[in-house]
Amino acid sequence: MNSHGTGEKPAASVKILARDVNVHYGDKQALNDVCVDVDDNAVTAFIGPSGCGKSTFLRCLNRMNDSIESCRVEGRIELDGESIHDRSLDPVQLRARVGMVFQKPNPFPKSVYDNVAYGPRIHGLVSSNQELDELVEASLRGAALWDETRDRLREPGTGLSGGQQQRLCIARAIATSPEVLLMDEPCSSLDPIATSQIEELIHNLREKYCVVIVTHSMQQAARVSQKTAFFHLGWLVEFNDTNEIFTNPRDERTESYITGRIG
Amino acid sequence: MIEKEHIHSAFDRDLHNLQSSVMRMGGLVEASIINTSRALADNDEELARKIVDDDQLIDGLESEVNLAALELLALRQPIAQDLRFVFAVLKIATNLERIGDYSKNMAKRTTVLLKTPPPNGAVASIRRLSHSVQVLLKDSLDSFAERDAEKAREIIVRDRDIDLMYNSLFREFLTYMMEDPRSITPAMHLHFMAKNLERAGDHITSVSEQVIFQVTGEMPKDDRLVEDTTSYEAVSMGAVN
């Protein structure tokens, strides 16, 4: 408990604000009027059945959908109060600020070191080899992978175990000092031990980052997130504190989904 | 209330079995209260002893419920309404077990009353209170089975009547004792029986609170009037006359 102050919870600052987001793939509408405030220094989980639009929405947050020809995104998405669709904003710069980790670990076919050094090199974030060494070490430490790879930095990243590869991808994502980390089912191809390690990492990452995670595991959302959003058939059905969602959801559709009933 | 089935049908079966065990337990407790009242009215020592023995069945069912609930938590990881259900079941089972204990205690006192007959009319007063408690218990079990939060709320209100009945019995028994010191032993036993029934009412209220929580997700605020005022009662010989 806070011994000074009013004892009230400080209002979390909103990192990402989305208003009336509609997404179409060709004629098919994938998302309808999604409005969300994503808190900074918190983990927000998106849950929902396959095809509900949660990954589509995640990919809107760093304009990953731009590369899909038929995809049309409407509505307002702001990062720190600035529209991410602003003409003056370079999507490459945006993706440096909003990093992404995918379902399957996808290290580059390079050494452990070069995987992490790749982003800082292309974005020109370091001016000397020593600085780069320090950044690689800090990123690997940040991804809880340093102790396991400090003697294997020159070995190929693809030679690591699945869980290590995923942490390598997280190290690669945080090497560019992003503000937001998007994770699309980061543990779905990992065993329970590696999953626990990633979850512990996610829990710690929120001290420095705004983390958004898409997951099919209800228990995972419950374990790692502070806020949970439930998507269904392209609609954001319910968005609330995670403990509320899992003890007393307000919407019948949320209740049916999370308790494993036929929707 | 959602009556949709789980995709895992075995999950529904587990939840259903848990509910059945609690209802069976409730049925035994209800029977125990009815039988105690009957044993008291008929001076039936054999029945009173059977009630004492049968309390083991209630205790056994409580253990069964606890174990089944624990397994369900471990194996199925229930959440939302399912989690609230398991939580409620655990608390309701504890409450029912306690009510069973109160009834057993009353049965034991009944065997003493066979040797020291109570004043006329006193037994009838206890039986009226016992009947009210038994009906309250039955209704609270119904509210659990039907997942009816409204019915559960009514029960909490009705428990006030039990408190009021206990208050007047308390005074009635005091009067007997003051009028005739020979009635102290039976009147004291009857008073403890009345107190047991009043406490049973409080546990029934707790059952109803669990039903409300299970159904609505909100714990009812504890703003009910507690009508049992005997804790503050001071009696002098002059006061009653």
Residue B223: Cβ-neighbour burial (10 angstroms; 0-12, 13-18, 19+): exposed
**Predicted structure pTM score:** 0.82
Which chain B residues contact residue A219 at CB under 8 A? 77
CB-nearest partner of A255 from B11, B81, B218: B81
pLDDT score recorded for residue A72? 93
- Which residues does residue A240 pair with via DSSP β-bridges, in sequence order? A228
Contact assessment for residue A247 and residue B79, using Cβ atoms and an 8 Å cutoff: yes
Report pLDDT digits (tens) over B118-156: 888 899 999 999 999 999 999 999 999 999 999 999 999
Query: What is the side-by-side strand order in the sheet with A235-241?
Result: A82-83, A71-79, A14-25, A28-39, A235-241, A227-232, A43-47, A210-214, A180-184, A98-101
Residue in chain A lying closest to B1 (CA): A252
Which chain B residues contact residue A220 at CB under 8 A? none
Residue A20 contacts B where some CB pair is shorter than 8 Å? no
Report pLDDT digits (tens) over A134-193: 999 999 999 999 999 999 999 999 999 999 999 999 999 999 999 999 999 999 888 888
Q: Report the CATH architecture of A14-105+181-259.
A: 3-Layer(aba) Sandwich (3.40)
Secondary element (H or E) of residue A98: strand A98-101
pLDDT confidence of B1, banded at 50, 70, 90? very low
Report pLDDT digits (tens) over A75-129: 999 999 999 998 888 998 899 899 999 999 999 999 999 999 999 999 899 999 9
8 Å CB contact of B7 and A256: no
pLDDT score recorded for residue A4? 45
Which chain B residues contact residue A222 at CB under 8 A? 79
- Which residues does residue A71 pair with via DSSP β-bridges, in sequence order? A25
8 Å CB contact of B2 and A261: yes
Cα angle A246, A251, A253 (rounded to 5 degrees) comes to 90
Q: Is the pLDDT of residue B223 over 90?
A: no
Report pLDDT digits (tens) over B192-216: 999 999 999 999 999 999 999 999 9
CB-nearest partner of B4 from A219, A222, A262: A262
CB-nearest partner of A219 from B2, B77, B80: B77
Q: Is the pLDDT of residue B173 over 70?
A: yes
Q: Is the pLDDT of residue B14 over 70?
A: yes
Residue A259 contacts B where some CB pair is shorter than 8 Å? yes
Residue in chain A lying closest to B82 (CA): A259
pLDDT score recorded for residue B225? 59
Among the listed residues B100, B103, B96, the one whose alpha carbon sits nearest the alpha carbon of residue B39: B103
Report pLDDT digits (tens) over A190-224: 888 889 989 999 999 999 999 999 999 999 999 99
CB-nearest partner of A260 from B8, B84, B217: B8
pLDDT confidence of A3, banded at 50, 70, 90? very low
Cα angle A172, A196, A102 (rounded to 5 degrees) comes to 35
Quote the minimal CA–CA distance from B235 to chain A in Å. 47
Q: Report the CATH architecture of B9-239.
A: Up-down Bundle (1.20)
Which chain A residues contact residue B81 at CB under 8 A? 255, 259
Quote the minimal CA–CA distance from B69 to chain A in Å. 16
pLDDT confidence of A5, banded at 50, 70, 90? very low
CB-nearest partner of A261 from B7, B217, B218: B7
Residue A226: Cβ-neighbour burial (10 angstroms; 0-12, 13-18, 19+): middle
CB-nearest partner of A261 from B5, B84, B217: B5
8 Å CB contact of B4 and A249: no
Residue in chain A lying closest to B5 (CA): A261
Compute the distance between CA of residue B219 and CA of residue A26 in angstroms, rounded to an integer.
48
Which chain B residues contact residue A258 at CB under 8 A? 79-80
* Whole-complex ipTM: 0.74
Q: Beta strand A82-83 with A71-79: parallel, antiparallel or unpaired?
A: antiparallel
8 Å CB contact of A222 and B79: yes
Mean pLDDT of chain B: 92
Quote the minimal CA–CA distance from B60 to chain A in Å. 30
Q: Is the pLDDT of residue B184 over 90?
A: yes
pLDDT score recorded for residue B67? 96
pLDDT score recorded for residue B235? 64
Compute the distance between CA of residue B211 and CA of residue B205 in angstroms, rounded to an integer.
10
Residues 205-234 of A with CB under 8 A from B: 218-219, 222
* Size of the A and B interface in Cβ pairs below 8 Å: 44
CA torsion sign, B231 to B233 to B234 to B235?
A: negative
pLDDT score recorded for residue B224? 61
- Which residues does residue A82 pair with via DSSP β-bridges, in sequence order? A79
Q: Is the pLDDT of residue B58 over 90?
A: yes
Q: Tell me which of A47, A238, A259, A262 to substitute to probe the interface with B (most B C-beta atoms closer than 10 Å).
A: A259
Residue in chain A lying closest to B217 (CA): A248
Report pLDDT digits (tens) over B80-106: 999 999 999 999 999 999 999 999 999
pLDDT score recorded for residue B229? 80
DSSP state letters, B35-54:
HHHHHHHHT-HHHHHHHHHH
8 Å CB contact of A261 and B84: no
Q: Is the pLDDT of residue A12 over 90?
A: no
C-alpha distances in Å from residue A39, one per residue of A54, A81, A211, B44: 17, 13, 9, 70
Q: Return the domain boundaries, chain A.
A: 14-105+181-259
